[in-house]
A and B are shown apart, each in its own frame.
Chain A
Amino acid sequence: MSHYSVWSVLREGLRGQTGWDRAWRDPEPKSEYDVVIVGGGGHGLATAYYLAKNHGITNVAVVEKGWLGGGNTGRNTTIVRSNYVQPVSTQFYEHSVQLWENLSHDLNYNVMFSQRGQLGLFHTPAARDGQAKRVNTMRACGIDAELLNREQVQAMVPHLDYSGNARFPILGAVLQRRAGTARHDAVAWGFARAADRLGVDILQQTEVQGILREGGRVTGVETSRGTIRAKKVGVAVAGSTGHVMAMAGIERLPIESHKLQAFVSEPLKPLLDYVIGYGAPGAHFYISQSDKGGMVFGGDLDFYNSYAQRGNLPIVQDVAECAMAIMPCLGRVKLLRHWAGIMDMSMDGTHIMSKTPVEHLYMNAGWCSGGFKATPASGWHFADLIANDRPDDLTAAFSLDRFERGYVIDEKGMGPTPKLH
């Protein structure tokens, strides 16, 4: 496998691009691995990468039903930020942003992480107080955050609706300059290539159909390409967590599956330099512009349990109204595509990274609508959990039994109503 560098680009340019290897192998499954990761999305691939890199465990397979990054990794709006208020979430997502900052070099693959800054708009004095608290929390945790007034926002993004009759008058915004976007496909591919180079087998088109157990302990997985035995199994299949965990006899979880839509417009000339988001009663919206020029945006969930990876029309209208309310200049832009991904909506809005009642079976789930930004830290900490068979200081808070113990991590204070997180 060749190392990507300016020299390799020049060399291949001189010899007609004939020397590139495939980015990762397509091996036959071995009969046994030390660790099998179920799910070849960003989180599963990152877990395999950090198992190899941080813990020296290279006899690892990533088993994926479809193709790499075909689930939520390739369906999100690519936003990366760490502006949380619950202490453990703040630390976790900040660790993730720090990993993002060096990810392209670390993986030797350009994930196009662009720290263009994210503005969270607010529209009422009460919301300003809430966001001031957020800024203070972030700064107390050593994370960059600035509270901007209306004039400062207008100077940065002049084409929002600042008129006197705006549906959501803009009073100001929270700015996190280190936040931004990344190219989501490249994240899956970059982790896959880097893991493969360290010896991890990536098995696409391989569906897990059963989880093998003996005496309360996991012993492998049954797949569409035969039985694969494993000392440890990690499940990272957000969206289908219930379906896969049921194979291990864990039938009920603090998770509901909901779908979230995303949208992309026709390509435009440079229009929006930042990631912009806002939430107000009855409105929720976030938007950025891709490097290709498309406006990438989204809003609320479809609000009912679903495993269908396609969106429903009322939310299309809702999101379009949210867009027009804040950015009327989008009115004549044509929508290119819209799609949906299945979110693991947990009961407190925070992810679950935990041991399970089955020994040596680990779960990484419940990311709600915020899993993409977590990808590197998720892999880092999940690998640590699997390698050491115990949660590290940060991961312990995200355990599966926190609900029963009463230690929920409810970022928005919505209670056990998954569709509201």
Chain B
Amino acid sequence: MAFKAFGIISSADNTVHVEGLHDYRPIGAFSFLGRFRVIDFPMSNMSNSDIDRVQVYVRSRPRSIAEHVGSGRHYNINSKRGRVQLLFSENSSSRSIYNNDINAYKENLDIIQRMHQEYVIIAPSYMVYKQDYRILLDTHISSGADITLLYQKVDNARDYFKNCHAITLNKQKGVESIEKNMGTANNKNIFMETYVMKKDTFVQLVKDASWTSSIYTLADIVNIKCKDMDVRAVQHKGYFATITSLEDYYNASMELLDYEVASDLFRPNWPIYTRTTDSCPTQYYETADVKGSFVSNGCQIEGSIENSVIGRSVVVKPGAVIKNSIVMAYATIEEGVHIENAVVDKWAHIIHAKEIKGEPDHPQYIKRQDTL
């Protein structure tokens, strides 16, 4: 079936910076729940929704995203009829205020205009949720709206959803405004940075935004257009996480350690695809003690793990204790090391620091390839 929409996977705003992890890769390439990367979720949503033309926007450090997304074949996207394009914004540095989504779209506007599909679905590479975009598109078309947004009601917006937008709605689910979540209240409608509209509307918004201000984002221009365009919102229910700060990232993983929550996100009829690394199963030794955790393949586990997410090929030596933590691929935790409330980046080797302890609301971050 030739689907009516093409997909755009957007890159996070230049005001978003996730402590530590973000220094090495864009958020889409962050490891998530051991064997996934954050971008696997929007990519799988697109693929499962029969969208086989997807543009992935990459703002900086493209290596990890380019390697991971590749041809898109592992996302079940055929390579002739379908296509995954990686598009870069090359005209400004990653931290520049000009390096935002509108400028990235403007640089690639000819490519966008050449797409055959009538509609575009834009989803962020830095949020995790499950959504059938076919349903969203049907809702959008039958409502006659100009733009349809996706949002979720949350009750913890003071502490989480940092750097995200919140929307205000009128009684008819019409969007009145889109503004940054400043943590002023717990109950908010968090905007999932997901848009459905006609391609022509999108192109016009990109042009309007850049005429109005060089630093306007797509959310900024839609906020302004709320007054004279029909902008509506659809409520999403189920697991939703934003990866826009270290705390949000950590919390997103900890929530999924409840198997019921995880099985809501991972349904057999809605597979989450990723690139395989062909690692072998994990070896649990006689001394291993593992509880309440997700463990990826290729690990060697001799120590204790509780309530944690363990990435691929992690080595946990006897006597090591990992609690309430995220340990990414290829890290080695040596004998007698105690890690609690921490995010340990890839290839880290922890030998000498016997105690690494963060706070539940502020995890300790250990750098990539660091030896401690």
Our verdict on whether A and B bind, yes or no, reads no
Write the residues of chain B forming the contact surface with A, with a CB cutoff of 8 angstroms.
none
